[in-house]
């Protein structure tokens, strides 16, 4: 190769390398695992989700007789300011069959469990098996209030009353540790803040910024 061509080739190669380094430097960095203060356990009201989206997806949990009331939506590492880091790279290993067996004990579908691992579990600093075990432990901490276990008719209430019955059923749970979510004046989800040790509820006033603002809400019954 003539000297001029060789020099031109080296210059082009150096330019490409510098461009690649610059591109990596400018890429947004994923939130680092373990940079969180507490967990948010999100419990979806299944009948509301089925009426809104689940029927269109032909979800198993929406089959007649299978509607279970509250189901685990996810366990989200959260920061004191209310933000929840997501998709903390690298994505980590895929869940093993054993890990998915644990997930199946708390999630309504394996598809949701896989999604929650990719989006939130990778920010926990845990491996898949430990993350799903943490979800199971967090869910076991929460006692569903008796009136909301399996109502046979649509209930009419308000967000404050939902918070109150949860607090009555769960010693140590206060209004600044729970958030009630709604859509079109219908209950969609209850979120509870749990310490990183998964042993107690903790205060998390930041999440209440998105609390349900409806005066009255309905809680549809299962099918």
Q: Find the range with the poorest average confidence among 6-15, 31-40, 136-145.
A: 6-15
Phi, psi of 221 (to 5 degrees): -80, 165
CA–CA gap between residue 173 and residue 170 (Å, rounded) = 6
The string of pLDDT tens digits covering residues 192-215 is: 999 999 999 999 988 877 789 999
CA–CA gap between residue 66 and residue 177 (Å, rounded) = 30
Instruction: Report whether 102 contacts 75 (CB < 8 A).
Output: no
Q: Which residue has the higher pLDDT, 88 or 39?
A: 39
Please tell me whether the peptide bond between 198 and the residue prior to it is cis, using omega within 30 degrees of 0. Answer: no
The string of pLDDT tens digits covering residues 66-119 is: 767 999 999 999 999 888 899 987 655 789 999 999 999 999 999 999 999 999
Q: Is 107 left (phi over 0), alpha (psi -120 to 50) or beta?
A: beta
Q: What is the mean pLDDT of residues 130-136?
A: 98
pTM: 0.82
The string of pLDDT tens digits covering residues 172-187 is: 999 999 999 999 999 9
Does the domain at 38-219 match CATH 3.90.550.10? Answer given as: no
CA neighbor of 72 nearest in space, from 144, 130, 167: 144
CA neighbor of 206 nearest in space, from 37, 30, 27: 37
């Amino acid at each position: 190769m003539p000297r001029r061509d060789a020099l031109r080739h080296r210059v082009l190669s150096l330019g490409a390398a510098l461009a690649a380094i610059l591109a990596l430097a400018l890429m947004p960095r994923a939130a680092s695992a373990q940079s969180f203060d507490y967990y948010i356990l999100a419990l979806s009201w299944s009948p509301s989700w089925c009426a809104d989206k689940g029927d269109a997806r032909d979800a198993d949990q929406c089959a007649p007789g299978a509607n279970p009331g509250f189901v685990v939506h996810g366990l989200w590492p959260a920061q004191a300011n209310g933000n929840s880091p997501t998709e903390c790279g690298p994505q980590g290993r895929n869940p093993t069959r054993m890990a998915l067996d644990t997930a199946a004990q708390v999630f309504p579908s394996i598809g949701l469990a896989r999604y929650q691992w990719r989006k939130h579990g990778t920010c926990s600093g845990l491996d898949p098996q430990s993350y799903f075990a943490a979800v199971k432990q967090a869910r076991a901490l929460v006692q569903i209030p008796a009136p909301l276990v399996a109502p046979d008719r649509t209930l009419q209430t308000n967000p404050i009353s939902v918070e109150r019955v949860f607090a009555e059923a769960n010693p140590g749970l206060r209004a600044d540790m729970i958030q009630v979510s709604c859509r079109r004046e219908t209950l969609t989800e209850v979120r509870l803040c749990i310490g990183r040790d998964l042993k107690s509820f903790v205060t998390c006033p930041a999440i209440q910024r998105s609390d349900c603002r409806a005066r009255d809400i309905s809680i549809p019954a299962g099918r």
